Amino acid sequence: MSRLLTLTLTSRSGRRYPVELFTRDTGLAEEGAVYMLLRLPEGRAVQAQILYVGETCALGAQLAQDKRPGGPWARADALGFDAIGAVALSRPEDRHAVAQEFIHSWHPPCNDGPGAQGGHAGLMELAGPLPVTLPRSATRH
């Protein structure tokens, strides 16, 4: 239950965003954020997968709601998600704009809409391997 690291994501438009990565069991604060359910690369791989992107004014409560049967958590879990990413943003219009930019940049497979189910949906190139390797058995519930 912890913060893993900060990852800088560069969207298709070239904007860079610092994303805090957390384990699945981290209790997150009730703050406004754009959040992602991710599958991190294994070993020396340099592609992470963004499985779902959402926006909220209360992150902890939203994640609890996302865990309902058939919700984003269950859909991402079926694809092997092992980390939560978050960009804290207090203004609703900023959250909406960033969430839409992330969705249009990576087409997460667990978001609804055109292009979400494409062959390389959600794949995001990293500059290099992540400096943390999560034990897969410890991250799955």
Whichever domain contains 106, its CATH number is: 3.40.1440.10
Identify the pLDDT of residue 121: 60
CA 110/CA 36 separation, integer angstroms: 10
Report whether pLDDT(2) > 80: no
Identify the pLDDT of residue 57: 96
- Burial of 11 (C-beta count, 10 Å sphere; 0-12/13-18/19+): middle
Report whether pLDDT(52) > 60: yes
Domain interval for residue 128: 3-139
What's the structural domain count of the chain?
Answer: 1
Report whether pLDDT(106) > 70: yes
Q: What is the pLDDT of residues 57-75, one digit of tens each?
A: 999 999 999 999 989 999 9
- Burial of 109 (C-beta count, 10 Å sphere; 0-12/13-18/19+): buried
Give the residue with greater pLDDT, 93 vs 14: 93
Pair 134, 140: CB distance under 8 Å? no
Identify the pLDDT of residue 131: 53
Query: What is the 3-state secondary structure of the chain?
Result: CCEEEEEEEECCCCCEEEEEEECCCCCCCCCCEEEEEEECCCCCCCEEEEEEEEEECCHHHHHHHHCCCCCHHHHHHHCCCCEEEEEECCCHHHHHHHHHHHHHHHCCCCCCCCCCCCCCCCEEECCCCCCCCCCHHHHCC
Segment 129-138 mean pLDDT:
49
